[in-house]
Structure 1
Amino acid sequence: MESGFGFGSLWSGGLIYVLPFLFVLTIIVFFHELGHYLVARWCGIRSLAFSVGFGPEIIGFNDKHGTRWKLSAIPLGGYVKFLGDENAASTPDRGAVDQMSAEEKREAFPTASVSRRAATVAAGPLANFILSIVIFACVAYVNGRTVADPIVASVVEGSPAAAAGFAAGDRIVSMDGEPVTYFSDLQNYVTGHGEQPITVTVDRGGREIDLDVTPKIEARDDGFGKTYNVPIIGLVADAESSSFRTESLGPVAAVGYGVEQTWFVTTRTVDFIGQVITGRQSADQIGGPIRIAQVSGEVSNFGIGALLNLAALLSVSIGLLNLLPIPMLDGGHLLFYAFEAVRGRPLSEQVQEVGFRIGLALVMMLMVFAFWNDLSGLGGA
Structure 2
Amino acid sequence: MNTIIAFILMFGLLVFVHEFGHFIFAKRAGMLVRELAIGFGPKVFSIKKQETLYTIRLLPMGGYVRVAGEDPEIIELKPGQHIGLEFNQAQAVSKIIINNKSKHPSAQVIEVEKADLEHDLIIEGYDIGEDKKLRFPVDPNADYVMDEVETQIAPFNRQFASKTKRQRAMQLFAGPMMNFILTVVIFAILGFSQGVPTEEAKLGSIQADSPAEQAGFEAGDEVIGIEGQPVTTWTEFQETVRQNPDTELSMTVLRDGTELDLAVTPRTIEAQEQVVGQLGVMQYMEKSIVKAIPYSIEETYKWSKLILVNLGKLVTGEFSIDMLSGPVGIYDATDQVVQSGFMTFLMWTAILSVNLGIINLMPLPALDGGRLLFVGIEAVRGKPISQEKEGIVHFVGFALLMLLMIVVTWNDIQRLFL
> TM above 0.5, one fold?
yes
Please tell me the root mean square deviation across aligned C-alpha atoms, in Å: 3.3
Q: CA shift at 1:45, angstroms? A: 1.5
Instruction: Return the match for 1:85 from 55, 70, 95.
Output: 70
Tell me which residue corresponds to 1:19.
5
Superposed, 1:190-269 pairs within 5 Å as: 234=276, 236=278, 238-239=280-281, 244-250=283-289, 252-269=290-307
2:362 and 2:66 mapped to 1: Cα distance?
Answer: 21
Question: Measured at CA, do residues 256 and 151 of structure 1 come closer, stay the same or move farther in structure 2, by a change above 3 Å?
Answer: closer
Instruction: Return the match for 2:60 from 75, 83, 104.
Output: 75
Question: Measured at CA, do residues 341 and 148 of structure 1 come closer, stay the same or move farther in structure 2, by a change above 3 Å?
Answer: closer
Q: CA shift at 1:279, angstroms? A: 2.8
2:65 and 2:367 mapped to 1: Cα distance?
Answer: 13
Question: Measured at CA, do residues 342 and 135 of structure 1 come closer, stay the same or move farther in structure 2, by a change above 3 Å?
Answer: same
Instruction: Return the match for 1:32 from 15, 18, 21.
Output: 18
Superposed, 1:133-212 pairs within 5 Å as: 133-147=184-198, 149-150=200-201, 168=227, 170-173=229-232, 181-183=233-235
Instruction: Return the match for 2:42 from 38, 49, 56.
Output: 56
Q: For the Cα contact (< 8 Å) 2:307–2:355, is it kept in 1?
A: yes
1:185 and 1:56 mapped to 2: Cα distance?
Answer: 55
Question: Measured at CA, do residues 16 and 84 of structure 1 come closer, stay the same or move farther in structure 2, by a change above 3 Å?
Answer: same
Q: For the Cα contact (< 8 Å) 1:59–1:70, is it kept in 2?
A: yes
1:143 and 1:283 mapped to 2: Cα distance?
Answer: 36
Q: CA shift at 1:345, angstroms? A: 1.2
Q: How much identity, in percent, do the aligned residues show?
A: 29
Verify: 1:352 aligned to 2:403, yes or no: no
Unaligned stretches of 5+ residues in structure 2: 77-114, 121-139, 141-154, 204-210, 213-224, 243-250, 253-268
Q: CA shift at 1:131, angstroms? A: 0.4
2:201 and 2:302 mapped to 1: Cα distance?
Answer: 19
Where is the helix percentage greater, Structure 1 or Structure 2? 1
Q: CA shift at 1:151, angstroms? A: 8.2
1:220 and 1:105 mapped to 2: Cα distance?
Answer: 62
Secondary structure of the 1:132 match is: helix
| Superimposed CA distance per residue, residues 120-147 of structure 1 (whole angstroms, 9 cap, x where no aligned partner) | 0000001100100001101220222355
1:271 and 1:39 mapped to 2: Cα distance?
Answer: 30
Greater relative contact order (Cα < 8 A, sep 6+): 1
2:119 and 2:341 mapped to 1: Cα distance?
Answer: 53
Q: For the Cα contact (< 8 Å) 1:52–1:72, is it kept in 2?
A: yes
Aligned pairs, number: 302
| Superimposed CA distance per residue, residues 165-194 of structure 1 (whole angstroms, 9 cap, x where no aligned partner) | x96564555xxxxxxx4339977xx9xxxx
1:184 and 1:357 mapped to 2: Cα distance?
Answer: 51
- The two structures have a TM-score, normalised by structure 2, of 0.65
2:237 and 2:393 mapped to 1: Cα distance?
Answer: 43
2:116 and 2:404 mapped to 1: Cα distance?
Answer: 35
Q: For the Cα contact (< 8 Å) 2:202–2:284, is it kept in 1?
A: no
Secondary structure of the 1:280 match is: coil
2:166 and 2:66 mapped to 1: Cα distance?
Answer: 18
Q: CA shift at 1:362, angstroms? A: 2.3
| Superimposed CA distance per residue, residues 292-340 of structure 1 (whole angstroms, 9 cap, x where no aligned partner) | 1111122112222211111110011111111111111101100111111
Secondary structure of the 1:309 match is: helix
2:350 and 2:161 mapped to 1: Cα distance?
Answer: 32
User: Aligned AA for 1:294?
Assistant: D
Secondary structure of the 2:161 match is: coil
Q: For the Cα contact (< 8 Å) 2:196–2:292, is it kept in 1?
A: no
Where is the strand percentage greater, Structure 1 or Structure 2? 2
- The two structures have a TM-score, normalised by structure 1, of 0.70
Q: Which has the larger radius of gyration?
A: 2
Q: For the Cα contact (< 8 Å) 1:53–1:78, is it kept in 2?
A: yes
Question: Measured at CA, do residues 371 and 169 of structure 1 come closer, stay the same or move farther in structure 2, by a change above 3 Å?
Answer: farther
Unaligned stretches of 5+ residues in structure 1: 1-14, 87-91, 155-165, 174-180, 191-203, 206-218, 222-227
Instruction: Return the match for 1:99 from 99, 108, 117.
Output: 117
User: Aligned AA for 1:182?
Assistant: W
Q: For the Cα contact (< 8 Å) 2:38–2:55, is it kept in 1?
A: yes
Instruction: Return the match for 2:325 from 287, 292, 311.
Output: 287
1:220 and 1:319 mapped to 2: Cα distance?
Answer: 32
1:36 and 1:278 mapped to 2: Cα distance?
Answer: 32
User: Aligned AA for 1:126?
Assistant: M
1:341 and 1:146 mapped to 2: Cα distance?
Answer: 45
Q: For the Cα contact (< 8 Å) 2:328–2:409, is it kept in 1?
A: yes
Secondary structure of the 1:110 match is: helix
User: Aligned AA for 2:390?
Assistant: Q
Q: CA shift at 1:369, angstroms? A: 2.2
Q: For the Cα contact (< 8 Å) 1:36–1:120, is it kept in 2?
A: yes
